[in-house]
Amino acid sequence: MPEFEREVGSWRAEVERRSSLAPRELDELEDHLRALVDLEMELDASLARPQAFAIARHALGEPRALSREFARAGRPRWKLLLAGASALYATSLLLPVFHIPPFLPGLDSGWTPRGYELLADVELLPLNLPMLLILPLIWRRRRLKGTWLAGILGAIALPALALGVAGAVSTGGLLLGYWAWSASFALGSIALWLRRRGWASARPKKGLATGS
C-alpha cells in the first residue's frame, strides 16, 4: 500500500506540472483514479494493485488531454479575467492619464489628457489595437490559440508597468488612468494564456449540469 500511495502521489505531481488543473480538479481526478483501480481489481481478481494502477492511469490519458477534457466540461474561468481586462481598459479611457507641465513649448497651461483623448491619437493606435482585438477573439466559435495576442499584450504591459515603477515620466507623474490602462494589458495577456491552456472550472457548464 505505501508503494501504491507513492505512485499515486507521483502521478498527481506529474499531472499538476503538465496541466492547468486546479487543486479541486486534481482531487476529483485522483478520486476517479482510485475508483478505477478498485474497479479493475474487482473485474480481474488476478491483477495486482500496481497492474491495476497502470491500466487505470492509461485509461485516464495524458495530463494535457485531461486538462482539455476539464476545459470542455467546465465553465471557462479565463473569461472572467478577460472581461475584467476589458472593463479595466474601458475605465482607463475615462480617467486622467498623466500631467503635461505648462513649461512645454506651445502650452500656456498644464494639460491632463484622459484616456479617450490618447486613443484618438493615430500614433498611439498600434498600442491600443491589440486590446481592441480581444472581443472579436472571445466570441468566435472556432477555437483560436490566441498565443500571439497574449504575447503582444504582455510585450506592451511589461515595459509600461516598468516605466511607471521607474518613474521615468514628466514632472506631474502618472495618474490612475495610466495604471488602469497598463494593468488591463497585463490582465488580458494572462487571461489569453490561460485560455490557451484550457483553464476551466471543475463545476460543469449549466447545460451539462442539467443534462440539456
Report how far residue 198's alpha carbon sits from residue 127's, in angstroms, rounded to the nearest whole number. 27
Give the model confidence (pLDDT) of 23-66 as tens digits: 777 888 888 888 988 888 888 888 888 888 888 888 887 776 77
Bridge partners (DSSP) listed for residue 96:
114
Of residues 85 and 118, the one with the higher pLDDT is 85
**What pLDDT, on the 0 to 100 scale, is given for residue 68?**
64
Of residues 87 and 74, the one with the higher pLDDT is 87
The whole model's pTM is what?
Answer: 0.57
pLDDT band at residue 140 under the 50/70/90 scheme: low
* Total number of residues shown for the chain: 212
Angle CA 182–170–160, to nearest 5: 20
Instruction: Choose among 58, 61, 83: nearest CA to 70.
Output: 61
User: Does the structure show a pLDDT above 90 at 184?
Assistant: yes
For 20, 47, 176, the CA distances from 59, given in Å and listed in that order, are 20, 16, 52
Give the model confidence (pLDDT) of 100-136 as tens digits: 766 655 555 667 888 888 888 878 888 888 888 876 6
Report how far residue 169's alpha carbon sits from residue 163's, in angstroms, rounded to the nearest whole number. 8
- DSSP for 111-138 reads B--BHHHHHT-GGGHHHHHHHHTHHHHH
> How many percent of the chain have pLDDT more than 70?
69
User: Does the structure show a pLDDT above 50 at 187?
Assistant: yes
| Average pLDDT over all residues of the chain | 76
Instruction: Choose among 93, 100, 98, 90: nearest CA to 117.
Output: 93
User: 18 Cβ partners below 8 Å, 6+ apart?
Assistant: 62, 63, 64
Tell me the domain boundaries of the chain.
2-61, 76-200
160 neighbors 152 (Cβ within 8 angstroms):
no
